[in-house]
Chain A
Amino acid sequence: MDHDSAPPANPPRYKLRLFITGSTPRSTAAIQNMRRICAEHLQGDYDLEVIDVYQHPDATRDYQIVATPTLVKVLPEPLRKIIGDLSDSERVLAGLNLAQEP
Chain B
Amino acid sequence: MDRSFSPPLSQAHFDDLLERLREAEETLDAIRHGEVDAVVVGGSSGQKVYTLENADRPYRVIIEQMREGAVTLSADGTILYCNERFADILGHARESLIGREVLHFVAPADTPVFAELMAHGPASGRSAELSLINADSVGVPVNFSVVDLDMGQDSARLLCGVVTDLTRSRQRSHELAAANARLAAEIDVRRRAEESLEVALDAAGMGGWDLDLAQGLIHGSKRFDEIFGREGTPGPWLVGELLARFLPEDRPAVQAGFEAARRVGSIEFELRIERLADGARRWIHVKGRVHRQQGRNGRLAGVVSDVTTRRMTEQQLRQAQKMEAIGQLTGGIAHDFNNLLMVIGGSMDMLEEHMPGDERSRRYFAAARQGVERGALLNRQLLAFSRRQDLRQEAVCIDDRVHSFQGLLERALGETITLQLVEPEARWLCTTDPHQLETAILNLAINARDAMPNGGTVSISTRRVVVDSERAQSVGAAAGNYVAVSIADTGEGMTPDVASKVFEPFFTTKAVGKGTGLGLSQVYGFVRQSDGFITIDSTPGQGTTMTLHFPLTDDPEQARAKDDAAVTLRGTGSVLVVEDDASVRDIAVRSLGDLGYTVFEASHAQSALDVVASGVGIDLVFSDVIMPGDIGGMELVQRLRRSHPAMALLLTSGYTGQAMADQPRPADVQLLAKPYTRATLSAAVDAALEKARARLRDPGKPGV
Please encode chain A, from 30 to 52, with 1 for each CB lying within 8 Å of some chain B CB and 0 for all others.
Answer: 00000000000000000000000
Whether A58 and B40, one on each chain, are in contact in the complex, defined by CB atoms closer than 8 angstroms, is: no
Report the interface size class on chain A: 20 to 34
Taking the complex as formed, is B354 at the interface, i.e. its CB lies under 8 A from any CB of chain A? no
Whether A23 and B48, one on each chain, are in contact in the complex, defined by CB atoms closer than 8 angstroms, is: no
* Residue among B39, B46, B54, B56 making CB contact with A66, cutoff 8 Å: B39
Give the residues in chain B near A54, CB-CB below 8 Å. 49
* Residue among A21, A61, A69, A78 making CB contact with B49, cutoff 8 Å: A21
User: How far, in Å, is A9 (CB) from chain B's closest CB?
Assistant: 34
Taking the complex as formed, is B122 at the interface, i.e. its CB lies under 8 A from any CB of chain A? no
With A57-B46, A67-B27, A83-B26 known as contacts, the answer to whether A21 contacts B19 (CB < 8 A) is: no
Closest to B58 in A: A23
The distance in angstroms between the C-alpha atoms of A54 and B48, with both chains bound, is 9
The distance in angstroms between the C-alpha atoms of A84 and B28, with both chains bound, is 11
Whether B58 and A24, one on each chain, are in contact in the complex, defined by CB atoms closer than 8 angstroms, is: yes
Whether A83 and B38, one on each chain, are in contact in the complex, defined by CB atoms closer than 8 angstroms, is: no
With A23-B58, A83-B26 known as contacts, the answer to whether A67 contacts B31 (CB < 8 A) is: yes
With A21-B55, A67-B27 known as contacts, the answer to whether A26 contacts B35 (CB < 8 A) is: yes
Q: In this complex, which of A21, A25, A61, A82 has the most chain B Cβ atoms within 10 angstroms of its Cβ? A: A21
Whether A84 and B54, one on each chain, are in contact in the complex, defined by CB atoms closer than 8 angstroms, is: no
* Residue among B37, B39, B46, B58 making CB contact with A58, cutoff 8 Å: B46
The distance in angstroms between the C-alpha atoms of A23 and B30, with both chains bound, is 19
With A57-B46, A57-B47, A58-B46 known as contacts, the answer to whether A67 contacts B36 (CB < 8 A) is: yes
Whether B49 and A57, one on each chain, are in contact in the complex, defined by CB atoms closer than 8 angstroms, is: yes
The distance in angstroms between the C-alpha atoms of A63 and B40, with both chains bound, is 12
User: How far, in Å, is A86 (CB) from chain B's closest CB?
Assistant: 9
Taking the complex as formed, is A65 at the interface, i.e. its CB lies under 8 A from any CB of chain B? yes
Taking the complex as formed, is B690 at the interface, i.e. its CB lies under 8 A from any CB of chain A? no
Please encode chain A, from 56 to 75, with 1 for each CB lying within 8 Å of some chain B CB and 0 for all others.
Answer: 01101100011111100000
With A21-B49, A23-B58, A24-B55 known as contacts, the answer to whether A66 contacts B37 (CB < 8 A) is: no
Give the residues in chain A near B27, CB-CB below 8 Å. 66-67, 81, 83
Whether B49 and A84, one on each chain, are in contact in the complex, defined by CB atoms closer than 8 angstroms, is: no
The distance in angstroms between the C-alpha atoms of A54 and B59, with both chains bound, is 13
Which B1-56 residues sit within 8 Å CB-CB of chain A?
19, 23, 26-27, 30-31, 35-40, 42, 46-49, 51, 54-56
Task: Tally A-B pairs: CB < 8 A.
Answer: 77
The distance in angstroms between the C-alpha atoms of A78 and B46, with both chains bound, is 28
Give the residues in chain B near A67, CB-CB below 8 Å. 27, 30-31, 36, 38-40
Whether A53 and B38, one on each chain, are in contact in the complex, defined by CB atoms closer than 8 angstroms, is: yes
Taking the complex as formed, is B562 at the interface, i.e. its CB lies under 8 A from any CB of chain A? no
Give the residues in chain B near A78, CB-CB below 8 Å. 19
Closest to A82 in B: B26
Taking the complex as formed, is B57 at the interface, i.e. its CB lies under 8 A from any CB of chain A? yes
Whether A81 and B23, one on each chain, are in contact in the complex, defined by CB atoms closer than 8 angstroms, is: yes
Give the residues in chain B near A24, CB-CB below 8 Å. 37-38, 51, 55-56, 58
Whether A25 and B57, one on each chain, are in contact in the complex, defined by CB atoms closer than 8 angstroms, is: yes
Closest to A85 in B: B35
The distance in angstroms between the C-alpha atoms of A45 and B30, with both chains bound, is 28
With A67-B30, A83-B27 known as contacts, the answer to whether A21 contacts B38 (CB < 8 A) is: yes
* Residue among A26, A27, A61 making CB contact with B47, cutoff 8 Å: A61
Whether B40 and A65, one on each chain, are in contact in the complex, defined by CB atoms closer than 8 angstroms, is: yes
Give the residues in chain B near A82, CB-CB below 8 Å. 26
Give the residues in chain A near B56, CB-CB below 8 Å. 24
* Residue among A58, A68, A81 making CB contact with B38, cutoff 8 Å: A68
Cβ contacts A to B, 23 pairs, < 8 Å = A21-B38, A21-B49, A21-B51, A23-B58, A24-B51, A24-B55, A24-B58, A53-B38, A53-B40, A57-B40, A57-B48, A58-B47, A65-B40, A67-B27, A67-B30, A68-B40, A68-B49, A78-B19, A80-B23, A81-B27, A83-B27, A83-B35, A85-B35
